[in-house]
Amino acid sequence: MPQNQIQSLLRRPRLVILLPLLLFFLWFWTTSLFSSPPPPMASSSLDSDSNTTPSNSSAMALPVIPPAKANEELVYESLPCIRIYKSGLVERYFGSEFTPASTNPTTGVTSKDVVIDSRIGVGARLYLPKLSDESKKIPILVYYHGGGFCLGSAYNPTFHNYFNGFVALSNVLVVSVEYRLAPEHPVPAQYEDSWLALDWVVSHADGAGQEPWINKHADFDRLYLGGESAGANIAHHIAMKVGSSGLGKPVKINGLAMIHPYFLGSNKVESDSIDPAASESLASLWKVVNPTTTGIDDPFINPFVAGAPKLDGLASSRVLVCVAGKDTLRDRGKLYYNKLKESGWNGELELREAPGVGHTFHLLFPTSEEAVAQDRAISAFLNY
């Protein structure tokens, strides 16, 4: 896809248009500036660096957001997260914070960064649980982070802290993919990078790849794809491509974990009314990250429309769909579950709804009761 500029026909959205990202930011801010690190929940084995490493928390600070540039036409704004100008200039105030790989002193989870393609900037952060038996093979999860295709990073403190807890709970090897962001790299760059990352992971299936952790510990009979929000969208499309193209090696996708997936459509669903402004803004966001799109019935964002690849071609023997009760995208996730069930796809399908919580709540409040319950469900899915 050509790297064309954001088209001027895109209207500026009203005030804050990415409610989940705003909540994400506010949680970061309030926990780092005004709260003492909370003790771990007695009922959970999950811990994060924010609970165990005060230096990570205290390093966070409220970003200084300057006025919009007077000499630039502003075509997209979602404060306190991002501004995008017609010239192609992008100012990100949130989501690009970096925390180094480490060994978590509480969970024993160790992480490291790897370069997959230095030419275009594709990489990953790997997470390995503390193993009592170093010869043991464990499930491997290739994970794609969310952020509306334009924000977030595998190296962000929130994802890092989350996986330090989740990997200890689930006892899986996680490959958290770092892909290029829109609008500098419009859709479908994110899908291309994510495919490249999966191909790199699969290159280790014979035990002779570049990364020793994957060679030694990954059980390729239990290879999973997953992601939250836009990352779940990516995971779906990667699984569809595996179905049509294969992986080049005798490896299959054992399961697909779809967490609060970011899908849209011109058809109305009940959860659109939870926050109509957020639903509208998500449609605006899609036009920014994919400026040559046909709209919200583009098969990339609406995989149920005529002309989209048939869902029965999904290359996964099992699928878990997680939705949140107060998420405006809730019923899009349920629609995915129902459409896949009706498609003739021959696999095991599970739907899980967390009541009373919003989009990506497990990242915002990782030790909450619902977050722990959801993580346990995902862990059980990966260790089936």
Q: Biggest alpha carbon distance in the chain?
A: 61
pTM of the predicted model, to two decimals? 0.85
36 phi and psi, to 5 degrees?
-80, 150
17 phi and psi, to 5 degrees?
-105, -10
DSSP letters, 96-164, are -------B-TTT--EEEEEEEETTTTEEEEEEE---SSTT--EEEEEEE--STTTS--TTSHHHHHHHH
Overall size of the chain counted in residues: 384
What distance in Å separates the CA atoms of residue 173 and residue 249, rounded to the nearest whole number? 20
What distance in Å separates the CA atoms of residue 215 and residue 219, rounded to the nearest whole number? 9
What's the half-sphere exposure (Cβ side, CA atoms, 13 Å) at 89? 9
What distance in Å separates the CA atoms of residue 320 and residue 348, rounded to the nearest whole number? 9
**Which tokens go with 350?**
């599970």
Do the Cβ atoms of 218 and 137 come closer than 8 Å? yes
Per-residue model confidence (pLDDT) at position 61: 56
* CA distances from residue 69 to 5, 10, 82 in whole angstroms, order as listed: 17, 18, 13
From the first residue on, what is the mean pLDDT of each consecutive set of 10 residues in the chain (384 residues)? Answer: 34 37 41 30 30 35 82 86 89 90 98 98 98 94 97 96 98 98 97 98 97 98 98 98 94 98 98 93 91 97 96 98 98 98 97 97 95 98 96
What distance in Å separates the CA atoms of residue 125 and residue 116, rounded to the nearest whole number? 10
318 phi and psi, to 5 degrees?
-145, 145
SS (H, E, C) 316-345: CCEEEEEEECCCCCHHHHHHHHHHHHHCCC
Per-residue model confidence (pLDDT) at position 18: 45
Handedness of CA 278, 282, 284, 285 (dihedral sign): positive
Report the run of H or E that residue 243 belongs to, with start and end.
helix 230-245
What distance in Å separates the CA atoms of residue 186 and residue 2, rounded to the nearest whole number? 8
**Which tokens go with 212?**
């020793």
**Which tokens go with 253?**
């996708």
> 357: which residues sit within 8 A by CB, 6+ positions away?
324, 325, 326, 327, 368, 370
What distance in Å separates the CA atoms of residue 81 and residue 62, rounded to the nearest whole number? 11
Per-residue model confidence (pLDDT) at position 62: 59
Residues involved in catalysis: 229, 327, 359
361 phi and psi, to 5 degrees?
-60, -30
| Count of beta carbons in the 10 Å neighbourhood of residue 166 | 27
What distance in Å separates the CA atoms of residue 233 and residue 244, rounded to the nearest whole number? 17
Do the Cβ atoms of 175 and 141 come closer than 8 Å? yes
